[in-house]
């Protein structure tokens, strides 16, 4: 990491009363949690939006064999 970023990390960590390693660890945890939550929401929205397309393509009813699909 460049010196400016390292200096900012030291200052922020010091202001919070924690080590730089702990500060970075917290940032990664926050980022991972937010990204994971955002991904799940986006995936759910995608599935809602394209539910009919998937049902048409892959069959919404597994017992429907009218087109020879099992």
Residue 62: the pLDDT is 53
46 vs 36 pLDDT, higher one: 46
pTM of this structure: 0.49
- Please determine, for residue 68, whether its predicted confidence score (pLDDT) is greater than 70: no
Neighbouring C-alpha atoms within 13 Å toward the C-beta of 32:
6
pLDDT in tens, 38-64: 877 888 888 888 888 877 877 765 554
- Is residue 14 within 8 A of residue 25, CB to CB? The reply is no
Could you say which DSSP state residue 68 is in? S
Number of residues written out for the chain: 70
Per DSSP, the residues of 20-61 read HHHHHHHHHHHHHHHHHHHHHHHHHHHHHHHHHHHHHHH-S-
Residue 12: the pLDDT is 93
Residue 61: the pLDDT is 58
- Is residue 10 within 8 A of residue 2, CB to CB? The reply is no
Residue 60: the pLDDT is 60
């Amino acid at each position: 990491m460049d010196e400016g970023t390292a200096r900012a990390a030291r200052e922020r960590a010091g202001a919070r009363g924690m080590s730089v390693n702990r500060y970075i660890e917290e940032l990664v945890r926050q980022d991972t949690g937010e990204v994971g939550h955002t991904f799940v929401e986006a995936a759910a929205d995608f599935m809602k939006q394209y539910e009919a397309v998937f049902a048409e393509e892959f069959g919404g009813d597994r017992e429907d064999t009218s087109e020879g699909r099992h």
